[in-house]
Structures are given as structure tokens and as C-alpha cells.
Structure 1
Amino acid sequence: MHMSIWVDNIPLTKNPARFMWAISRPHWRPALVAMLAVIVSATLYAVIPYVFKLIADSAAALAQGGAYRDLILAAFAYIGVALLAGLIWRVSGFAGALWATGARASARYALTAYVTRHSRSYFSDHFAGSLANKINHAAAGSADVVEEVLWQFLNFFVTIIASFVIAFLASPTIALILMAWVAIVAPLNVYFARKRVPLSAATQNIEAKLSGATVDLLSNITAMQEYARRAFEIDRLKIGILKRRAAGLRNWRFGEAVLLGNGLLQTFFSGAMVLVAVYLTQAGTISVGDIVLIIALVFNIEERILFLGSNLNSFSETWGEIRESLEEILEPHQIVDKPGARPLEAVRGQLMFDNISFGYLTPPLFRGLTLHIPAGQKVGLVGKSGSGKSTLTRLLLRHHELTGGAILIDGQNIAEATVDSVRKAIAVVPQEPVLFHRTIRENILYGRLDATDEEVERAARLANAHGFIEKLPKGYDTLVGERGVKLSGGERQRIVIARAILKNAPILLLDEATSALDSESEVAIQDALRMLMEGKTVIAIAHRLSTLHEMDRIVVLHDGEIVEDGTHDALIAEGGTYADLWRHQAGGFLQEEDEDI
């Protein structure tokens, strides 16, 4: 059976019920088959106690001279009903498997796709490990919900309704006791399940944070070892572990209390049904077969109600986990395409920051800044920490939205264009290159997915990366490790440059790609950057002023304002801010740290 698990066109909400509906819609056919199979199978299983009644009555009649044929027919009736019920139940298993696994796949895909559209600031506020944990919980929980609803709750309600009808045929009194039993126990279990949802959500939230903290620790294991902070980190982790244990214990105790109450009510009502059945048998109102029927119904319903309490506890925990995950994952996207947004046509790369305003805090960083960069010009941005260098490039990449003014690429307002088309027009070489845990070939191909092997190798040669790649055991098919840890800083940087060369975007953003490298690596990368910058509009953030000799123009920022603009020689001659920075460099670096994101 072919079906799609992709739900791009279905709006996702934080409401778990609507979310389950959204991810189940692509799988409605197996869902319908599975539910119908459960209804039919559960009804047949509920009929089996009635078949036991026929067997008991036939056996009692046989002892008094009745026909042996009736007992044989009743026995074969049991075999037929049990066999048919079992076969149809297996149909629900096959169809339900398609539904459950499909819902899980759809949930994982939809949530991952949604997360990838969040802005940079969102990821600054959330642990990557915690987000992955929440996606996993929501996806796995979706399959669990399908299983619980299909094979537990639907089965429970069909069994109870069928059992009530059968009990009523045997004795209306027994049927009324059964109805009272279910009428009291079912609502109580639903009530307590709802009360447990916040406990489950709190437990899942602590679990996600603990998972994120663990991933953060393992990601920084080298720093921990070099600073001999193992004891500190383990003690810090203990706090989270104890919080998780306390939350889990509260949740578990609540569930056990519900199960205890279920057990007491179950004993009371099942005992009442058996005592009434014995009394009615003694009074001659019902037959021996009827008492067998009632006892079988009692055991059947006892099992279902026991499972109801247990499954509602499990269901409420899963529901709480899904709700908590959706609350964090499905926050509104900060950067979205406007209605009617069209792809950007960036051919030449002319840039215009037109009277822009923006700020993370109050007062804003930029207050009416204007900067024009002709196509093909190479501009170096200089300034101390907090001056706005990195923020300016992030605004160009639409990691944040302006509060005023406009940014134009070739005369087109990027706020009116699709986000992807804006970013496709720009190649970025960051100061700290990060690679995917994939092969070198795949990492370079990220610049242009349809590139040939020859084009990948050419880009690597231009980036001065081919030489070291060839020396690796598997060459271009070498896995680089998590975040590229198997390669040196200079090697990672050259892979990123090769990726940017392959992308061949008209606009290039450089965040001082050589500031933390040895001299040999720096020379190789400077040569690669010259090739990369050829014919491009370039904005280079300079942490080391000596790297600006390739720039046509230098723009000096201070507190979000342009205080100087000109060539290196002209600005030195002016004796202003740039000249002061040049004189006060230590080892060629500006006295600053990277700006906050």
C-alpha cells in the first residue's frame, strides 16, 4: 500500500489532538481498516462468553438426557468464533502497523522540517540535544498514541458495549451492575489521566533539559578535560539527574495510586456481580450457562478495566510528552516569507542598506544606517565588539528582520523576496567553520547539490584543499567526524571555501577566515580566498586589520554608525578611528571579542 508520509501542506498546531489528526490524515486508509477490524474482532471476542454459556447449558442438558449434537455444535461455534476473531485481529495488526509507523515517520519529518525554519536566535535559546530529544519523544509518542487508541481504548469501548448487551440478555440486574461499574470507573480514570498530564509534561521537560545538558557536556569534553573540571561537571549533572528522578517519582506514585483505586473498585463490583449471579441461580432465574457467562464477562471486563487504568496512565504520560514537545518546537517562526514573496534575482550583487534600523535591545543598534556597495566591490568592516559588524551581515542573510528601512540586492527588497532565494545569492565563509558528519565530498557538494565529481575536485583545487584530501585514506569519501573534528582548523576552512566556490554566489560574506590559523595554513587560505573573491561583491569582517589589503574599501563602525569610509591609505592619512585601531593592534588583532548573537 503506497502512501505519503510527508505533511508539508498540513498546518501543525500545539494541540496534541489536532497534531495527531494532521499526521494521521495521510494514513487514513490503513487507519480505517485497522479500526473496523478492531471493532469486528472485539465484538466477536465479547461473544465468546455467550458461547461458553451455550456449552455449559448443553452439557447440563446432556446430563439430563439432552442431545449430544447441541454440545458438539456449541464447541465448534467456539472454535469458529475464536478463529475468526483472531484472524480479524491480525488484520488490525497489519493495518495498524502501517498507521502507527506512518504517523511516527510523518511526525518526525514534519517537526524536523518545522524546526529547520526557525531563526538563528531560536537556536541560541535552545539546546540542540534538547530539541532532538523532543522531536524523538513526539514522534515515538505519536506511534504510541495510535497503538493505545486502536488496540486499547477502541477495544475497551467495543468490548464494554457488547458485554453490556450480552449481560442484559442474561440478566438486566447484572447488566445494571456492569453499567454502574463502568460509569464510575471510566470517568474517574479519565479524570485522573488528565490530572497526570502536567506531571508527565514536567517530567518530559526536565528529561529534555537533562539530555541537552548531557549533549552540551559531551560536545565540550575536551575543554572539561583540559581544565580538569570532571568533578565539577559530574556534580552539576547530578542536580539534573536528581530533579528528573523526583519528577519521575511524583508521576509514578500518582499512577500507582490510580491503579490502587481501580483495583479496589474492581474487586467491589466484580464481587457484587458474582454474588448476584449466585443468588439468581439459586432462585432459578438464570441457568448454569448464564452464571458461566456472567463469570466469563466479569473476568473479561476486569481485564479491560485493569488495562484501562494502566493504559490511561501510560497514555497521559505520552500525551504530556507530546504536548511539552509541541509547545517548544512549534513556536511561531520569526523569519517567514511574506504573502506573494517572489524569488530574488541576484545576478550582479549590488547591495544597498537603506536607512535601516534594528536592535536586539532598547535603544536599537542601527538607527537610520545607510551603506551602498556597488556590484563587485570588496568592503572590509572594522569596529570594536558591539559596533554592529556581525549584525549587519546577519541582517543581510535575514537571520533577523529590520525594524525600519530596507536592504536591497540589485534593487530588490530582500524583505519582499523569499528567504531561501536571498540566502542562495550569498556565500558565507565563517570564522569557525563547522562541517556535517558526512564525507568531504558531501560537505563540498553542499554548495551545489547537482555538481559533478569533476566540479567538486576543481573547487577543492581552487581552495587549496585537494592536496590534503588526496592523502586521506578514503580521499573525498572520508568522513570528517562530528562538526569536522577529524580535520584541522585550516583543513576545515578550506573545505568551507571549496563549498563557497562551488556555490558561486554573487555575494560573499567573510568572517576573518584566517585569524586563528598557523602561518602555512593562512597562506594557503589567503590564496584560496583570492580565487573565491574574484568577481564577487564581498563584505569581510576584519578582526585583524592586516588582512584588509585585498579590500577596495574599508567601513568603520562604532555603536551602529558608520564613522569612517574609505581606502586603507586614506583612512590612515585621516588619523581618525581606523588609524587609532591600526596603531593599537596587539599582534595584528583588534582588542575585541565576537559580538553577541
Structure 2
Amino acid sequence: MLNFFERWTQPFPASSPDLPPRSLFAFCRYYARGFITPVILVGICSFLLAAMEVSLFAFMGKIVDWLSAANRETFLSDEKWRLTAMAVVLLLLLPLAHLLASLVRHQSLMGNFPMSVRWRMHNYLLGQSMSFYQDEFAGRISTKVMQTALAVRELVLKIMDVMVYVAVYFLSMFVLLGSIHKYLLAPILAWFVAYACLQWYFIPRLKQVSQEQAHARSTMTGRITDAYTNISTVKLFAHTRRESQYARDSMDGFLQTVYRQFRLVTYLDILMGCINYLLIFSVTAAGLSLWIDDRVGAGAVAVAVSLALRLNGMSHWIMWEVSSLFEQVGTVADGMNMLGLPRAVQDAPDARPLTVSAGDIRFEDMSFSYRRRVAGNAEEGSHLSVIEHLDLHIRPGEKIGLVGRSGAGKSTLVNALLRFYDVQSGRILIDGQDIAHVTQDSLRRHIAMVTQDTSLLHRSVRENILYGKPGASEAELWRAIEQAEAAEFIETLADPQGNHGLDAQVGERGVKLSGGQRQRIAIARVLLKDAPILILDEATSALDSEVEAAIQESLNTLMRGKTVIAIAHRLSTIARMDRLVVLDAGQIVEQGSHAELLAKNGIYARLWSRQTGGYLGQDD
């Protein structure tokens, strides 16, 4: 039975990761897809439980009246049907309703619901643009996903479970007391008005501070995670105290929101206690007065006092549930601000998979500028122009080198080709296909890239290399490793969990490996991918001269028959390319072979002279 309810809902739904709505209700409804039926069922069970519990109080009053007037010898025979009916309610209906509510809530919703929300959020965020991740802490993003998923579950369940229970309980109670005597209803109504006023005053303030608290919590987590992620930089610059203070500032900011929250809670709790004690006194006094005047029986007094005592206990529970409800509202609203941002780069509605037959690349009248962002939104009219009206044709199988000072637009050109950003005007064609009209995944599957700042996944060496071709055979895997000159050091690797060689974990971003080792694993990954277009961005900068010379032949093999774009500040590494393209301020100012550019005695010749006459030494 437990297994049936666990399988009733899907924690990993097969749905497209669309942009979620921006309103609170629509946002929660969007992520509750697939869970609406069990949520409604929990609400129905809460309705029945509340109604039957109030009926038990009414029955208790009947018993008091019966016992005060009934004949002991004939009591059971006289009241057997009503006693049997209440026994059925108490021993059968209530347990069944409670069982069903518990099974649906705990097996179908508590685990699967937030996991489904996380799954959908994660899939959407995986498709977010590069600019989104450049503007946020990785730890802050993951914290938002975790806490927003739980908040959506709690918000939906509290509305359909707790709120239904409370509403039905109060309504049933008012009907019961009103049917006994209208004077017994007066103290309850007065208490309800006072209670509603307290909630009306305090809850919006608790909501506001809860939203600020969620934001402060994610900022605190992001700062702490940032320090752990860059621990080598922290230690290198001896800034442990600085980082400690940086984290403490965010912790103190979070703590201030906690203080404000619990000050409000204290005020609310004290005032709640006052009106609850006043309620018990008023109901008891009214009941006794009516009993003395012989307008109600002892059972009615027992029911009224019992309900007042029950409200005393329930009111604190309701207070926390309502406070929690609005805390979840604040958390969800805060999460929507990040998780509901639209993607800057999206596939066109009619996008098709890219087909690469030759590897011909054209940049036609391309212009690109970075949008400056303020508080997560693009600032109108504020752009940083990087490339303007650039034209470049890279023929199939041609190997070009991009040369230029920092900020000349080399990396921007590559990022635009990978469609990490969309160009403002012009277009980029691969074999005659506009990359804006092909799917991003198919585009990047046909392009392999080795960067200077190699980032590895916190997984095994094997998993990192197979990232280039997940279905590769063991023979293909080892061939790529050997071509990248990585076999020798991989065999010596081990981790604290007892894994060795290819199964050893590399640590977060590959921190357990040297820069040269990370670079060789990255090269092995690209060798395995064997894409028709290859981008080398300072691909051998982290290698010593001996290792660089050893894998140069492998890189030459890798480049054979491919269209290659290489970026290097060390000009000797790209001097043998078919063509060198010199960029300056987003424009092509020179292009030609190494010898042709030296003969022009322009920017390239000056850069070459500066390097060969400085720290690099002469290179044939």
C-alpha cells in the first residue's frame, strides 16, 4: 500500500522546462502540475476530520445530558443507535480519513512534490544563459532551488490542508454553539474578531521579514560557498580573516532578520495568550449564567468550555501555521525573482539540428555589445560595445589564429560562435546555416573547445573524460588518454575513498590535480569528442615545455581535417596556423600568414617583436 501511494505521483516528470509564471498563485500552480489530485484529496480528508471532530464535542455534551437524566438500567438500550453511530465515527470513519490523509500527504506529496519542483527548476536553470550564472553565486542559486522547492510544497499543502481544516472547524463550531444558544456564540465571535485583527496586523509584517530573511539566507550561503570554492585563492593571499569577516557580515545581516522575526512572534504570542484566557473566562461565565437561568443544560456548558479550551490550544498551532504560511509566501516570492527570470538565449520556435558537412564558418556584418545589468535587470540603453560590423570567412578545414590585445574581442567572437550570447546584428553561419535558427545543443555538439581555465566536474577522471563522448568504448577512452599524454599521471591518482586511476575523484573544479594535469584531461575529453570544429583558447598555456612538445603532435592529429580557431597570447603557439587574424577594438585590422604579417610591420609585428625580444625568446 505504501508503495502504491509513493508511485502515485512522479518526482521526475517528463515535461519541458518552460519559463514559470511570475505571479505567486500561477507560479505555485505551475509547479504543482501532476499533484493537484492528491492535494485536493488531502483537503477533502481535512474537511471530514474537522467536521467529525466537532461532532464529537457535540456528542460529549449529549452524553453529559443523558447521564444526568437517564436510567442506568435502560441507558444502553435507549441510546444504542446513537451510541453505535458515534462508535462508527470514532473507530472507523475518523481512522480511515486519518489513514488516507496520512498516506497521501507523507507518501505521495512530502517527498515527491518538492523533488518534482527541484527537477523542473534544475532543468530550467541548466538552459539559462551564461550571463545569468555570471551575475549570481553558484551556492546562492542552489540554495534558492532547495528552499523554494520546499516552500512551494508547504504553501500548497498548508492552503489545502491546514486552512481547509481550520475553516471547516471554525464554521462547524459556530454552527454548533449557535444551535445551543446565541449567547454562547458571542464570546467566540468576539475572540475570532480579535484573533483576526492580530493576524491582520502581524502576518504581513512576518511575511515581509521572511522574504528579507530568505534573501539574506541565500546571500549568506552564497558567500560561504564562494570562499570554499576559491579556497586556494583565499589561502594564497592570506585572507582567511578577511573572508571570515565577509561571511560574518552576511551572517549578521541574516541574524538581524531573525531578531526582527522573533520580536514580532513574541508580541503575537503574548497577545494571543491574553485573548485566549479571556475567551475561556467569558465562555465559562456565559455558560454558567445560562445554566443558572435554566436556559441550557450541563451538557451545553461542557461543550462550550471544551471548545474554548480546544481553541486555546489550536490558536497557537494556527498562529504558527499561518506565520509559516506567509513565511513560505515570502520564500517563494524571493525565489521567483531569480528562478523566474527569462532565458537571454533561447532556441527559435522552428530551430532545427545543425548539420556540419564541411565546417565552413562565416561572420557576416556581426555586431555585439554586452548589456550592463542593474539589480538583475538589463539597464535600458546601457551597452558596452565590443564588436562592430565584423566580417570574417573561415574556410572548411582552415586553421586560423586570433591575435589581439586583451579586450580586443577574441573571446567574444568565440562566445558568439558557441551562442553563449546572441549578437545584436548580423549573423553567424556554419555551412550556410544561421546558428540563431539551429538548436543550441546540436550547435555545441559540433564544436569542441579547450580553454586555459579548465574546470572539471567533481567526479571521477573517467566520468570527466567520457563527458566528451559518453558512449565511448574503453579502447577509445584509453586512446584519447594516451594521445593527451595523460596515462602516466592518471595511473598514480588516488582519493580518500580508496579509488585509484580512472576511478579517482578529481575534487571540485579539479582542485586535486595540477593545472597541467587538468589541461591534459580536458584535451583527452576533446580528443574523444572529435567534433568537426575545434576551438583552442590558450589550450597549452598550463603545460610545461616538455609536456607541450609531447602533445603537440596529438594536437596536430586532432586538428587534421577540422576547422580550427585558436586564441593565444603566446604567439609562437599559433604562428604556424594557415591564417592569423588580428583584432583591435572589435575590428579586424590585419590578417594573413605569420610571414605576411611580419612583413607588414603592423600590430602583429610589434606584438611578435615584443614577445621574442622579451620573455619568450626567439622562435623559428
Common topology (TM > 0.5) = yes
Residue 341 of structure 1 aligns to a residue in which SS? coil
- Deviation per residue, 1:79-130 (Å, 9 max, x gap): 5433332331131111012123222012111211222222111111111111
Q: Distance in 1 between matches of 2:524 and 2:360?
A: 23
| 1:38 to partner: Cα distance | 1.6
Residue matched to 2:616: 588
SS where residue 555 of structure 2 aligns? helix
Aligned to 1:454: 475
517, 532, 537: which is aligned to 1:506?
A: 532
Instruction: Indicate yes or no: 2:133 matched with 1:127.
Output: no
Secondary structure at the aligned position of 1:365 is classed as strand
Counterparts in 2 of 1:23 and 1:2: CA distance versus 1, 3 Å? same
Cα distance in 1 between the residues matched to 2:308 and 2:383: 69
Kept after mapping to 2: 8 A contact 1:101/1:143? no
Q: By how many angstroms is 1:11 displaced?
A: 4.8
What does residue 490 of structure 1 align with?
Answer: 516
1:434 matched to which residue of 2?
455
Cα distance in 2 between the residues matched to 1:71 and 1:304: 32
Contact 1:58 / 1:66 at 8 angstroms: preserved in 2? no
**One-letter amino acid of the counterpart of residue 503, structure 1:** K
In structure 2, the partner of 1:593 is none
Give, in whole Å, the separation in 1 of the partners of 2:384 and 2:137.
Answer: 29
SS of equivalent to 1:88 = helix
The letter of the residue matching 1:154 is V
The Cα of 1:58 is off from its aligned counterpart by 2.1
**What SS is found at the alignment partner of 2:117?**
helix
Counterpart residue number, 2:418: 397
| Counterparts of 2:332 and 2:178, CA distance in 1 | 40
**SS of 1:86's equivalent?**
helix
Output aligned runs, 1:22-41, within 5 Å: 22-41=30-49
Give the superposition deviation at 1:352: 0.2
- Give the structure 1 partner of residue 302 of structure 2: 292
Tell me the equivalent position of 1:18: 26
Q: Is the 8 A contact 2:449 2:534 kept in 1?
A: yes
> Deviations for 1:336-378, whole angstroms, at most 9, x for unmatched residues?
1122122221222110000111122656221111000001111
Matched, 1:302 2:312: yes
Q: What's the counterpart of residue 86 of structure 1? A: 95
2:215 maps to 1:205: yes
Specify every segment of 5 or more residues in structure 1 that has no aligned partner in the other structure, as ranges: 590-597
2:545 alignment partner AA: S
> 8 Å contact 1:40–1:88 — kept in the other structure?
yes
Q: Distance in 2 between matches of 1:217 and 1:326?
A: 26
CA RMSD of aligned residues (A): 2.3
- Which of 356, 375, 378 pairs up with 2:396? 375
Question: How far apart are the structure 1 equivalents of 2:69 and 2:228?
Answer: 75
Question: Is contact 1:54–1:74 with CA below 8 Å preserved after alignment?
Answer: no
Aligned AA for 1:519? Answer: S
Look up the match of 1:480: 506
Corresponding residue of 1:469: 490
1:169 deviates by 2.2
CA distance in 2, matches of 1:10, 1:120: 18
2:605 paired residue among 567, 572, 579: 579
Matches of 1:126 and 1:9, distance apart in 2: 20
Please tell me whether the aligned partners of residues 358 and 364 of structure 1 are also in contact (alpha carbons under 8 angstroms).
Answer: yes
Q: How does 1:140-179 map to 2 (within 5 A)?
A: 140-179=150-189
User: Structure 1 stretch 404-413 or stretch 459-468: which is displaced more?
Assistant: 459-468
**Aligned partners of 2:272 and 2:316 also within 8 Å:** yes
Q: Distance in 1 between matches of 2:519 and 2:502?
A: 16
**Deviates further, 43-52 or 59-68:** 59-68
* Structure 2 counterpart of 1:595: none
Please give the TM-score of this superposition, normalised by the length of structure 1: 0.93
Q: Is the 8 A contact 1:497 1:528 kept in 2?
A: no
Deviation string, structure 1 residues 364-406 (Cα, Å, up to 9, x no partner): 2211110000011111101001100000000111111111111
State yes or no: 1:4 paired with 2:32.
no
The unaligned stretches of length 5 or more in structure 2 are: 1-6, 371-381, 495-499
Partner Cα distance (1:579, 1:26) in 2: 65
One-letter amino acid of the structure 2 residue matched with residue 390 of structure 1: S
Contact 2:397 2:561 in 1 (8 A): yes
Partner residue of 2:408 out of 375, 387, 401: 387
Cα 1:330/1:519, change in 2 over 3 Å:
same
- Which residue identity is paired with 1:3? T
Q: Which amino acid aligns with 1:441?
A: R
* SS in structure 2 at match of 1:25: coil
Q: Which segment is superposed worse, 320-329 or 13-22?
A: 13-22
Task: State the distance in 1 between where 2:515 and 2:533 align.
Answer: 24
% identity of equivalent residues: 33
- Report the Cα distance in structure 1 between the residues aligned to 2:223 and 2:290, rounded to whole angstroms: 65
Number of aligned residues: 589
Secondary structure of 1:484's counterpart equals coil
Relative to 1, partners in 2 of residues 1:395 and 1:161: Cα closer, same or farther, differing over 3 Å? same
AA partner of residue 468 (structure 1): F
Which position in structure 1 is the counterpart of 2:567? 541
Change (3 A) 1:219 1:169: same
In the TM superposition, what are the counterparts of 1:413-432 in structure 2 within 5 Å?
Answer: 413-432=434-453
Q: Look up the match of 1:561.
A: 587
For residue 366 of structure 2, give the secondary structure of its aligned residue in structure 1: strand
